[in-house]
């Protein structure tokens, strides 16, 4: 997440690889299988799709995909040598790289123009000030967490952030355990066809808000 003035922009998501010996972790040096730490998130659908369609096999690469709830968790496993390659957003990847000099960013995975706050319309939230005192679901340590903290701080709004993995976000807003969710991918609200939500772009402090039944 890059903050330019009051504009929140999702920067490049990345793949990180731990380099040890001949460019892999100790785990991979004893096996021909490349272990990929995959974050269960639509942002990274390329990994399971490529595995299912046989793209890795066609390239002569034996892949074992290990799911993780967040990028921070996947990168922690990478740093510890549990997996050979991991993906994650720019914020957790940058933090992991600063702590672990053996990590290398090798590819750009996905980009989105903005983050969004998505609220149940029944919660009565129509503007950023309405977020005050509300529960916001967000994966802590993620890019979404960063833009949420930064944006709320710029707007002078205090809210309760609730740790929620990307795969759990639709359920969290659907069962009313939170009032709002913070997402990095603006296409996510389109997945919630049975929900009525207010989707608010994090482009500026005024946050031009569009409301839609989806």
CATH code where residue 118 lies: 3.40.190.10
Under 8 Å between Cβ of 120 and 175: no
Q: What is the DSSP code string of 151-188?
A: HHHHHT---EEEE--GGGHHHHHHTTS-SEEEES-TTG
Under the banding of pLDDT at 50, 70 and 90, the label for residue 9 is very low
Give the domain range for residue 160.
114-213
Distance CA 2, CA 14 (A): 14
User: Percentage of residues in the chain with pLDDT exceeding 90?
Assistant: 18
Under 8 Å between Cβ of 90 and 59: no
Same domain, 155 and 201: yes
Looking at per-residue pLDDT, the higher value among 115 and 96 belongs to 96
Give the 3-state secondary structure of residue 115: coil
The tokens describing 112, both together, are: 């989105």
Last residue of a domain, one of 45, 80, 108: 108
- Answer yes or no: is 60 within a domain: yes
Instruction: Reply yes or no on whether the pLDDT at 1 is more than 70.
Output: no
Identify the residue whose tokens are 């496993």. Answer: 77
Under the banding of pLDDT at 50, 70 and 90, the label for residue 31 is low
Distance CA 87, CA 93 (A): 8
Distance CA 163, CA 28 (A): 32
Return the closest-CA partner of residue 205 out of 56, 31, 58, 5: 5
- Answer yes or no: is 160 within a domain: yes
Last residue of a domain, one of 81, 108, 135: 108
- Answer yes or no: is 89 within a domain: yes
Under the banding of pLDDT at 50, 70 and 90, the label for residue 96 is confident
Looking at per-residue pLDDT, the higher value among 166 and 48 belongs to 48
Same domain, 142 and 104: no
pTM of the model: 0.61
Same domain, 95 and 21: yes
Give the Å distances, CA to CA, from 168 to 41, 43, 161: 10, 14, 14
- Phi first, then psi, for residue 202 (nearest 5°) are -95, 45
- Answer yes or no: is 22 within a domain: yes
If one counts the domains in the chain, the total is 2
Instruction: Reply yes or no on whether the pLDDT at 20 is more than 90.
Output: no
């Amino acid at each position: 997440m890059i903050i330019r003035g009051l504009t929140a922009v999702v920067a490049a998501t990345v793949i990180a690889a731990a380099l040890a010996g001949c460019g892999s972790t100790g785990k991979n040096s004893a096996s021909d299988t490349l272990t990929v730490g995959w974050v269960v998130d639509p942002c990274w659908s390329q990994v399971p799709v490529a595995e299912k369609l046989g793209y890795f096999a066609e390239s002569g690469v034996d892949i074992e995909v290990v799911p993780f709830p967040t990028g921070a968790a996947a990168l922690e496993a990478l740093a510890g040598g549990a997996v050979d390659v991991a993906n994650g957003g720019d914020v957790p990847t940058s933090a992991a790289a600063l702590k672990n000099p053996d990590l290398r960013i090798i590819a750009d995975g996905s980009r989105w123009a903005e983050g969004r706050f998505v609220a149940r319309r029944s919660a009565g939230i129509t503007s950023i000030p309405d977020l005050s005192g509300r529960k916001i679901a967000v994966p802590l340590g993620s890019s979404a967490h960063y833009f949420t903290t930064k944006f709320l701080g710029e707007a002078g709004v205090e809210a309760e952030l609730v740790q929620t993995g990307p795969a759990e976000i639709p359920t969290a807003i659907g069962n009313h355990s939170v009032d709002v969710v913070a997402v990095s991918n603006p296409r996510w609200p389109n997945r919630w066809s049975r929900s009525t939500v207010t989707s608010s772009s994090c482009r500026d402090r005024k946050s031009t808000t569009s409301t839609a039944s989806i």
